[in-house]
Amino acid sequence: MKVNISQASNWLYFYRKRALFNTMAFVGYTTMCWRGRNWTNETARMGIAGSMAFGTVEALFHFVDTVNIKSKASKGEVPSTMSMVKNIYKKEGVVGFGRGIGAAIYGNYTAGLIYFVLYKWLKNNMPELGGFKALIAGFIAETVTILYKFPFDLVKCRMQSVNYIFKYSDWRHGIRKEYRANGVRGLYSGVTPYLLTNTTFIALQFSIYEKILLQCKGSMPVE
């Protein structure tokens, strides 16, 4: 017990700045969400809901994502899922499943807010554009969100799979290190195919969602 307390004290001392940053971010975010329940602005409330959904799902399934990323990055014959899980636990312990979770949490909680606020605002303020308003709003919102989130995803994937090469201590260190080494271009390495795939997918997804929602509202009986 004494050893554990000593280890915890040493960790807090050496990582006090990181702990303070995360504590302030957590308090600020939870305060915003709590107050957001009573906001009258529908766009802002939708942003809070989207942020919580994005971030919570990513945090809950991050360990699955880690197994997936490591499987894709493995050389030679791809091991089974259970073999990969056992291998990660054997080499890194429980901590191995959480590599890059900081980048995932900070990236997705903020990206969810950006996406849903921008999508709702565009949908409310754009002209109909021949019935393609939802499609275009989703495409623009997803493009902006990806351009914001991609550096987080880049660092996250590297921390999950090949951090023995990059040696990032956390997501902030990873972004700083990559920017100093390769500039903005380095932070967006591989963004083009990712952008093209996801913007098209999300734009179509929300366009279909809006069409179905409209049809459901139209078919509801009038009381």
Report pLDDT digits (tens) over 132-174.
888 888 889 999 999 999 999 999 999 999 898 999 999 999 9
**Inter-residue contact 151 to 104 (CB < 8 Å):** no
97, 88 Cβ separation under 8 angstroms: yes
In the chain, what percentage of residues exceed pLDDT 70?
A: 90
Q: CA nearest 175: which of 196, 194, 192, 189?
A: 189
Superfamily of domain 42-219: Mitochondrial carrier domain (1.50.40.10)
Q: How far is CA 61 from CA 58, 67, 107, 142, 200, in A?
A: 5, 10, 15, 21, 24
Domain residue ranges of the chain, discontinuous segments joined by +: 1-38, 42-219
Which amino acid is present at 166?
F
Q: What is the pLDDT of residues 32-73, one digit of tens each?
A: 999 998 899 999 999 999 999 999 999 999 999 999 898 887
Q: Are 172 and 108 in contact (CB under 8 A)?
A: no
DSSP annotation of 160 reads: H
Would you state the structure tokens that stand for residue 88, as one six-digit string?
């990660």
Reply yes or no on whether the pLDDT at 213 is more than 70: yes
**Cα distance between residue 158 and residue 99, in whole Å:** 9
Contact assessment for residue 112 and residue 46, using Cβ atoms and an 8 Å cutoff:
no
Q: Does residue 84 have a pLDDT over 70?
A: yes
Q: What is the mean pLDDT of the chain?
A: 86
Q: Would you say 187 and 164 are in contact if contact means Cβ atoms under 8 Å apart? A: no
Per-residue pLDDT averaged across 177-201, rounded? 91
